[in-house]
């Protein structure tokens, strides 16, 4: 049976907003003793875990046969035809410091392809979403990537590597080039929001390495449905599970890929 993606998206938006309301309500209650470390500079609180459980429960009711890939591992399932890919709170470091940029990110994959993406930025109450073939939206208004056709006129976003420093030198080479040759670079602290902002034209491009599938699956799909292009650093398709991603408005894709290739793929 082919699921009704538009209707499912509507439900996923409600589930994202309910989790977002919980996260917002906990903002002032989180204290230092709630913060656990999962690894180098990688933090989590009860808020991430509780939000994930709420989201999983809602999605299980919606599509009982689908499986899950989730950041906080509150549920693990075998591979299924449909898989939900969830980051219940993208921007945890912002959240624990009270910096207002964090989001809920939920994608639905059918085999290798993403068919639904929802990114809910909690502070501005902005819900970005798309379903396969349906276009991309922000709070019910259609969105498109920017029209900027040269990197010289572009505003970029990135994320700084904070535990995998293996490619730091190459990353900084590309970063330095961008400082000299674009309108600037922003670091918001939520990859899902960075991607959503490329989708609606606030950013012209976003790049980062060492990301996980739950950081990017939803946002990358929304960029594509908004007319943008998403690749790995070599221009290939391995950007959801491959740990490196470039998202652009499509017009500056080749120019940016040239720069990324020469930084990351030289001997
Ligand atoms: C992080 C954010 C951040 C990015 C990191 C991610 P988290 O996710 O998306 O912007 O730079 O690589 O891990 O830990 O806040 O869910
Ligand atoms: Ca994340
Ligand atoms: Ca997270």
- Among 162, 164, 189, say which to mutate for ligand 1: greatest number of ligand atoms within 8 Å of CB: 189
Residues 24 and 116 in one domain: yes
Does 78 share its domain with 200?
Answer: no
Residues whose Cβ atom is located within 5 A of ion ligand 3: 71, 87, 89-90
Q: How many domains does the chain have?
A: 2
> What is the tens place of the pLDDT at every residue in 126-175?
999 999 999 999 999 999 999 999 999 999 999 998 788 888 999 999 99
What is the average pLDDT across 222-231? Answer: 98
Closest CA to 126 of 69, 188, 213: 188
Q: For residue 213, which phi and psi values (nearest 5 degrees)?
A: -55, -40
Whether residues 105 and 83 fall in one domain: yes
Rounded to the nearest angstrom, the distance between the alpha carbon of 92 and the centre of ligand 2 is 8
Q: Indicate if 139 and 156 belong to the same structural domain.
A: no
- Separation of CA 12 and ligand 3 centre (Å): 18
Is residue 126 located within the same domain as residue 226? Answer: no
Q: What is the pTM of this model?
A: 0.96
Are 117 and 155 within one domain?
no
CA of 96 to the centre of ligand 1 (A): 13
For ligand 1, is residue 249 a contact (CB within 6 Å)? no
Q: Which ligand has the shortest distance to the CA of 40? A: 1
The mean predicted confidence, pLDDT, of the chain is 95
Any atom of ligand 1 within 6 Å of the Cβ of 190: yes
Give the structural domain span for 195.
Answer: 151-264
Alpha carbons 54 and 62: distance in angstroms, whole number: 13
User: Last residue of some domain: 143, 160, 195?
Assistant: 143
Same domain assignment for residues 212 and 125: no
Same domain, 73 and 123: yes
Q: Is pLDDT larger for residue 239 or for residue 167? A: 239
Distance 141 CA to ligand 1 centre (A): 27
Residues 47 and 103 occupy one common structural domain: yes
pLDDT in tens, 88-97: 999 999 999 9
Distance 194 CA to ligand 1 centre (A): 10
The predicted pLDDT at position 1 comes to 61
Query: Looking at the predicted structure, is the pLDDT value of residue 267 above 60?
Result: no
Ligand 1 close to Cβ of residue 90 (< 6 A): yes
- Does the pLDDT value for residue 196 go beyond 90? yes
Residue 217 Cα to ligand 3 midpoint, Å, equals: 13
Does ligand 1 lie within 6 Å of residue 196's CB atom? no
Could you tell which of 23, 55, 85, 91 is best to mutate to test the pocket of ligand 1, judged by most ligand atoms within 8 Å of the CB?
A: 91
Which one of 122, 143, 164 terminates a domain? 143
Largest CA distance in the chain: 52
Are 121 and 23 in contact, with CB atoms under 8 Å apart? Answer: no
* CATH code, domain carrying 28: 3.30.540.10
Residues 107 and 163 in one domain: no
CATH number at residue 202: 3.40.190.80
Label residue 4 exposed, middle or buried (CB < 10 Å: 0-12, 13-18, 19+).
Answer: exposed
- Do 92 and 166 sit in the same domain of this protein? no
Confidence of residue 266 (pLDDT cuts 50, 70, 90): low
Percentage of the chain modeled with pLDDT above 90: 86
Q: Whose CA is nearest to atom 11 of ligand 1?
A: 159
> DSSP letter string over 116-157?
EEEEEETTTTEEEEEETTTEEEETTEE--------GGG-EEE
pLDDT digits (tens, 9 = 90+) for 1-57: 678 999 999 999 999 999 999 999 999 887 788 777 877 777 888 999 999 999 999
Please indicate, yes or no, whether residues 131 and 232 belong to a single structural domain of this protein.
Answer: no
Show which of 83, 108, 143 is a domain's final residue. 143
């Amino acid at each position: 049976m082919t699921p009704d993606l538009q209707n499912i998206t509507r439900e996923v938006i409600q589930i994202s907003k309910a989790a977002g309301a919980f996260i917002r309500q906990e903002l002032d209650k989180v204290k230092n003793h709630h913060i656990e470390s999962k690894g180098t500079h990688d933090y989590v609180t009860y808020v991430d875990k509780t939000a994930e459980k709420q989201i999983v429960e809602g999605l299980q009711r919606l599509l009982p046969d689908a499986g899950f890939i989730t950041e906080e591992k509150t549920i693990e399932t075998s591979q299924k035809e449909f898989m939900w890919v969830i980051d219940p709170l993208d921007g945890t470091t912002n959240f624990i410091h009270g910096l207002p940029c964090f989001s809920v990110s939920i994608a639905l994959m059918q085999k290798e392809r993403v068919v639904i993406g929802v990114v809910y930025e909690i502070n501005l109450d902005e819900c970005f979403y798309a379903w396969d073939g349906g276009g991309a939206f922000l709070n019910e208004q259609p969105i498109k990537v920017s029209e900027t056709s040269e990197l010289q006129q572009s505003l970029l976003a990135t994320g700084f590597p904070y535990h995998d420093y293996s490619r730091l030198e190459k990353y900084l080479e590309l970063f330095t080039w961008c400082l000299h040759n674009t309108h600037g670079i922003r670091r918001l602290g939520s990859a899902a929001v960075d991607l959503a902002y490329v989708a609606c034209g606030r950013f012209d491009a976003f790049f980062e390495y060492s990301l996980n599938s739950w950081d990017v699956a939803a946002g990358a799909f929304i960029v594509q449905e908004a007319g943008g292009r998403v690749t790995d650093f070599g221009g290939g398709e391995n950007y959801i599970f491959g740990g490196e991603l470039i998202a652009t408005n499509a017009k500056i894709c080749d120019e940016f890929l040239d720069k990324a290739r020469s930084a990351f793929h030289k001997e």
